Structure 1
C-alpha cells in the first residue's frame, strides 16, 4: 500500500503524538509511507495531476519514535504524484492554522476531496470532516447520547440558557485543546460576562449542560470503523482526569490519563453512533464521553494513542493500518 499522511507542517510534527505512531506502524508493516504538509501540494500545470513535495518515512531496526520522525524531518523532499497513492490519511488540524495561516486551514479537506474524486482512499472523509470540525456535528447524532446544548453568539441567550439549565460549560464552537473552555456554576456566576466575551472572540459559542461526574474527568474512546478500536483484546480507551481545580481534562492542559474499564454504558453510546459514523466515512474518531453522554467528536486528528500504549502496554496503531489496507483492497 502506498499511503501519505497529510499534516499541518512536517517541521512542527512531534514524535510522541499519534500521527508518528500511525506512520511508524505503516512503515513497520512494509508499506510505502510519505509525509506531506498542507503547503507542499501542487496541481500539475499541464496534466492536472496533484503532486507534492513529500518526505519518505522508512523504518530502521531499533528506531524509536524520535529517530523515526527525525529522519523524516531531516530528509530531502521528493516530488510524488498523489493521484498514484492508494490512501491518504488527513491528520492536519485546521483549527491550528486558523489564526496564523488562514490560507492553510481548509486545504486538507479540499485536497482530500480532490484525491477522493480521483479514486484515492481518503480518511476521514473530507466532506464530513468539514462538518465535524465544528462541534455542531455532534448535534446530528441521537439526542439521548448528547447533553442539552445551545449554539449562539448572543450573550443574553447564554445567560438565559444557564439560568434555565444551571451548571454548564461554555466553549468555542470551533476550538481544540481546551482553549477558552469555562465552567459556569449558575447564572449568578461573577465572571459570566468575561467568560462569554472570551469565547465569543472565537466566533460562535456552544453551551452544554454540565454532566454529573464531569469534575472527575472524561473518557477518551477511539472508534475505528464504527467499533471501539482494540488490539490483542485490549480496548483503546482511557479516562482523562483534570489537574487541581482546572475543569478541563485535556492532556494538553495538564490532565492525566488513567485506565478505563469500558462498561455497557460506553458500549451503548458507541453503538448508538456507529451507523452514522460509518455512513459519514468517519474511519477513526476519538469520542470524549462522560457517563452516557458524548461531549465532543474528535474527527480531524484524534490523538492520545501514547496514553493507550503507556496504560495497557499495547500498540493499537497496527490495527488502524490493517483496517486501512483492507479498505484500499476492497475498492481495487
Structure 2
C-alpha cells in the first residue's frame, strides 16, 4: 500500500510523541510505502487532476534525522492507495481551502481520510451541539448580554474561542465575575466573533480525558490530561500531565454513541474530549495521544489505526 500523509513540515515533528509519526512507523513496519506533503503543496489545474509535490520517505529509526527522502516529485493524489489529512489545527482559511482540494481529489478517485467534507461539517467545538445529552450547560453566542445572563445562572464558567487549539484563549470566571466584561470583549471582539461558554466542570482536576474512536470502535484506554499547579487547562500544550487509564462506563457510553455515527460519515479517527461525565469537544482534524496511551498501557493504538485503514480500503475495493 502507498500512503500519502498531508501534514505539517516533517522537520517540526516531535517524534517522541507525534501521532502522525507513530502512524508512519506502523505503516512502514507492515511494508507499506509512505510519502508526505504539506497542504501548501496541493494544486489543481483545469483539465487535470489534483497533484501534490510529495516526498517519498523511509524512516531511519534515528532520533534526529528520523527520515530519509528517497525522491521528490509531483504526483496525482489518486495515485496513492490512501491520503491521510493530518494537518494540525487551526482550522483556518487555508485549511478550509485544502479540504476542497482534497475533496476534488476524492471525486477523481482518491481515498481521503478523514473525509474532507466531514472535516468541514464537524467543527471541533461546535460538533458537540448534535449530542446535547452528553454536554454540560453550554452557550454559543456573540452577545455579551447573553454571556452575563449565563454567568448569573451558573456562577462558575469557562469561556473559549471557537477556533482555539491546545488550550489557547480559555478563561475561567468564578461567581465573583472578576474581569468578565474584559474577557468577553477580548474573545468576542465587541460582538463580532462567536464564542462558547460552558459551566465549569470541577472534575477537570482529574483530567481532561482524550477518548479515541478508530473506525467506529472505541480504544479501551484514554489519556487524562491533568492540569498542573494553578492551571485550569489540562491540554498537554499548556503543561498538562498525560496519564493513561482505562475508559469509564460513561466514556464508553459517549464514544459508542458518537463513534459509529461519525464513522459512517467518513471520519475514520476522532478524539472525544470528556471532563467528568461531560463531552466538551469532538476532535476530527488531527487527533493525537497515540504514543502516550501505547507507551503507558501497552495497547498498540497505531496498529489499531492501520488495521482500520486497511479494512476500510478493502471494503472500498470490494464495492467496485
**TM-score between both structures, scaled by the size of structure 2:** 0.91
Partner of 1:68: 66
Residue deviations 1:193-237, cap 9 Å, x none? Answer: 2222222249311001122412332211111122213xxxxx341
Q: Are residues 212 and 190 of structure 1, via their aligned partners in 2, closer, same or farther at CA, if it must alter by over 3 Å?
A: closer
Query: Do 1:24 and 1:65's aligned partners in 2 also have CA atoms closer than 8 Å?
Result: no
Does residue 84 in structure 1 map to residue 72 in structure 2? no
CA contact (8 A) 2:244 2:292 kept: no
Q: 5+ residue gaps in structure 2?
A: none
1:211 to 166, 177, 201: 201
> 1:155-194 to 2 correspondence within 5 Å?
155-186=144-175, 188-194=176-182
Structure 1 counterpart of 2:183:
195
CA apart distance, 1:314: 4.4
* Aligned counterpart, 1:232: none
Q: Compared with structure 1, are the counterparts of its residues 65 and 327 closer, same or farther at alpha carbon in structure 2 (3 Å cutoff)?
A: farther
What secondary structure, in the 3-state scheme, does the structure 1 residue paired with 2:270 have? strand
**How many pairs were matched up?**
314
What stretches of structure 1 of length at least 5 have no aligned partner? 230-234
Which segments of structure 1 move beyond 4 Å, counting only runs of 4 or more? none
Displacement of 1:248: 0.3
In the TM superposition, what is the alpha-carbon distance from 1:139 to its structure 2 partner? 0.4
> Is the CA contact (8 Å cut-off) linking 1:23 and 1:57 kept in structure 2?
no
Offset of 1:178 from its aligned partner? 0.4
Displacement of 1:14: 3.2
Give the Å deviation of 1:113: 1.0
> After superposition, what is the alpha-carbon deviation per residue over 1:302-330, rounded to whole angstroms, capped at 9, x for unaligned?
11222113312444212211211111121
Cα distance in 2 for partners of 1:257, 1:13 equals 19
Contact 2:55/2:71 (8 A) holds in 1: yes
Q: CA deviation at 1:133?
A: 2.8
Aligned to 2:51: 51
Across the aligned residues of Structure 1 and Structure 2, the Cα RMSD in angstroms comes to 2.0
Give the superposition deviation at 1:261: 2.5
Encode CA deviations 1:287-310: one digit per residue, 9 max, x unaligned.
Answer: 111232111111100112221133
Shift, 1:30, TM fit: 0.8
- Paired residue for 2:23? 22
Once the two structures are overlaid, the 10-residue window that deviates more, 107-116 or 155-164, is 107-116
